[in-house]
Structure 1
Amino acid sequence: MTLFARLKADAAPQWADYTCHDFVGQLASGSLPLESFRHYLVQDYLFLIQFARAYALGVYKSQSVADMRQSLEGVKAILDVELDLHLELCGTWGMDRSAIETAPEDTPTMAYTRFVLDAGMAGDLLDLQAALAPCVIGYAEIGARLAGEGKDDDSNPYQRWIREYAGEAYQGLAKDFIAWMDATADQVMTEQRYPRVLSLFEKACRLESDFWQMGLNAKS
């Protein structure tokens, strides 16, 4: 069993609340209000900027060149791929880069990003990975599930989002992250330490749920 599989099993309620949130269900059916999706996209763009910084922190926390390269790949994936996806989607509603990057951070965005950065600053690479894992791997699981359920069709206004996270490139990134976290755990994990790693993972799942809810609340 991978460390991620163990964490997912032990945090099953938090994982289910996150990956099966009503926001995801409405996104899958195409019934999510556009204003909810727009607010989510802008906040997720701001979130990813901080997430890139967290991966950059991973470079500093790494004990090997291989780990440094893995962290760097995370930075590049965000800056070269995911941010462009958000700009593309926001552009369909007439929002340009300047409007997005100068938007104010919502409270759930600040809470989540600062949690991840603090986990990395206060702990080591494994602590940082545990805080990053729900986002990195959860989006891959959600994307694959929605595509597998046939939700990826041209009638869904959110098909571009689903295809991105169900796609081979992102699925590979998530698999690589699972293997990377396992390799780190092989070096530093002990049973005495596991509860702390699990706590970080659970908190990140709850913050992911709060992030979805922020999007739903924007419709009003």
Structure 2
Amino acid sequence: MMYGATFPLLRAAAPDWHAFTHHPFVEGLKDGSLPRAAFLHYLQQDYVFLIHFSRAWALAVTKAETVAEMRACAATVHALLVEEMRLHEGICAEAGIDLTGVEERIENLAYTRYVLDSGDLLDLLAGLMPCVLGYGEIGARMLREAGETPYRDWIETYGGAEFQQTCAEAGALLDAATARRIGPPGTGPRWPALCHRFATATRLEVGFWDMGLRP
């Protein structure tokens, strides 16, 4: 799942990356200690997030320079709208929660609008990748480590083969887009700005988990 262009971005985001992928919210999902109210609140906010995140990936289609890039971005839009959102809709329906008209929290708004406010495709991908690759890393680790937990459906969604394939394709897209525009990963004048964008989005992910603990 980790591709060449990912390594300089991850270095720039440390230790925020660890705070994101090992957040108390995540560990609560893994061992089942996360309060149900916090989980359901998070799902509602994440559903709103996924709507805007899908729009951002759709925007990536318009910023792409090749048909291959367009197809890769469009495939991610499909994965978000069909695979991920189905999880949220199913769990919330069982809990009697209506997802229409959910009020967007400030932390959610700040993150999604930051991602949508971008330059070219590389700028946009740098803001999108922490969510895709981070959830993939979290899901894969939790699938290995988690025991009995009421959040098994969530873990299996992000640790499962379909989402892991989405992560692999996103990483490959990032590598190809980087090579096409600025050459080898970590070199050239644009990398500091891309790394800063990736690190900022990672901190916003940490803030999203923090919000989840405050229903």
Scaled by the length of structure 2, the TM-score of the pair is 0.94
Where in structure 1 do 4 or more consecutive aligned residues deviate above 6 Å? Answer: none
Q: Deviations over 1:133-168 (max 9, x none)?
A: 00001001001111111x1x4x31100000011101
Are 2:8 and 2:195, in contact at CA under 8 Å, matched by a contact in 1?
A: no
State yes or no: 1:68 paired with 2:67.
no
State yes or no: 1:216 paired with 2:209.
no
Q: Deviations over 1:72-131 (max 9, x none)?
A: 111111111111110011122111xxx212111001110000000002xxx111111110
Are 2:12 and 2:196, in contact at CA under 8 Å, matched by a contact in 1?
A: no
Q: Distance in 2 between matches of 1:141 and 1:65?
A: 28
Deviation at residue 27 of structure 1 after TM alignment: 1.1
Structure 1: tracts of 5 or more residues without a match: none
Q: Which residue of 1 aligns with 2:197?
A: 200
Pairwise CA RMSD: 1.1
| Corresponding pairs, count | 209
Are 2:130 and 2:198, in contact at CA under 8 Å, matched by a contact in 1?
A: yes
Q: Distance in 2 between matches of 1:9 and 1:170?
A: 24
Matched residue type, 1:139: Y
Deviation at residue 188 of structure 1 after TM alignment: 1.4
Q: Deviations over 1:19-70 (max 9, x none)?
A: 1111111111100011110110000000000011001101110111111111
Q: Name the structure, 1 or 2, with higher relative contact order (CA <8 Å, separation 6+).
A: 2
Structure 2: tracts of 5 or more residues without a match: none
Q: Distance in 2 between matches of 1:145 and 1:84?
A: 22
Secondary structure of the residue that 1:32 maps to in structure 2?
coil
Q: Which residue of 1 aligns with 2:129?
A: 133
Matched residue type, 1:20: H
Q: Distance in 1 between matches of 2:141 and 2:151?
A: 14
Secondary structure of the residue that 1:63 maps to in structure 2?
coil
Identity, % of aligned positions: 44
